Amino acid sequence: MKDFAKAILFGITGAFFFAFNFILIRSMNLEGGYYLWTAVLRYLFTLPLMALLLIKGNGFRKVFQSISKKPVKWFVWSTVGFGLFYAPLSAAAIYGESWFTAAVWQFTIVAGVLLTPLFGKRIPVKNLLCSCVIVAGILVMQVSKIRMGVQADWPMLILTMGIAAFSYPLGNRKMMQVTEGDGLTTVQRVFGMTLCSMPFWGICAVWSYRQAGLPTASQCFQSFLIALLAGVVATVLFFAATDLMRHDPKKLAVVEATQSGEVIFTVVMGVLILKDGMPDGMALAGIGIIVVGMVLNSMMA
């Protein structure tokens, strides 16, 4: 129970720092920054930041030993967990306010539950039903968006967020399997995944340059903040939380559900920092439903 409480605390704190991801992506979109540069720069900055955390105690040795044993799996699942997660997420962020994108992203909670059979476990039905409550809250927020007269490109929004929502938990869980028994810490695993996703980001960087030229100084600085707050702090906290519950699919689903707190944090910061429009009554009701879903998930565990 103590580990579960710690995992929940890590998850909620990680959600707070991950909210800066949506805030800063929205800020760069408003400034006209190319979305794919945002994704590339985040991981280019994340790599040296994670490396700094491993300098003390020669933390690189175990990482490279693990990669050398299963290089293909490392590169494939790191690209899925980071590349196919963040590139589509950055693309989806162009469709509205920061809280809107953060709300749609919460579909990853259900995605995480649906992926359970791929890892030899049965789907925790009660957690799935509770996660559907969270999705209901998300849908209410989307209805609010439509009532406000915003016409989003729904097919592309669903496609990009769907890819991101499944890729993040899939890559994370697969890498937990790949590194089982290697004695890696969370920081070491995140560094290794960041390193192994670099070929993907290199291709994206070439494409970004051909499409939009070099990124601006402002985009570079804000991407650095995303790398620090979301790429390092939030990711390490979330991965540490899932590591604690890796052998309990029900509690793992609850920990992953703490990501829905990103919506609440993003609403507050979006209004205060970016002067985003305040969600109307229906949107706030949707946020309330999301919170109820989080509580129900915790009670089920």
Measured CA to CA in angstroms, residue 114 lies from 20, 165, 166, 234 at distances of: 27, 11, 9, 23
- Non-local (6+) Cβ contacts of 1 within 8 A are none
- Structural domain range at position 75: 2-300
Q: What is the pLDDT of residues 169-207, one digit of tens each?
A: 999 999 999 999 898 988 899 899 999 999 999 999 999
Torsion on CA atoms 228, 230, 236, 242, rounded to nearest 10? 180
Mean pLDDT across 248-272: 81
Cα–Cα dist 172/178, whole Å: 10
Count of CB atoms within 10 A of residue 181's CB? 6
pLDDT band, residue 291 (cuts 50/70/90):
confident
Measured CA to CA in angstroms, residue 88 lies from 28, 240, 253, 292, 294 at distances of: 16, 24, 23, 28, 25
- Non-local (6+) Cβ contacts of 247 within 8 A are none
Q: Give the total number of structural domains in the chain.
A: 1
Single-letter amino acid, residue 95: Y
State the pTM of this model: 0.84
Q: What are phi and psi of 249, to 5 degrees?
A: -60, -35
Residue in this structure with the two tokens 């953060």, named with its chain if needed: 102
pLDDT band, residue 223 (cuts 50/70/90):
very high
Q: What is the pLDDT of residues 31-71, one digit of tens each?
A: 999 999 999 999 999 999 999 988 876 789 999 999 999 99
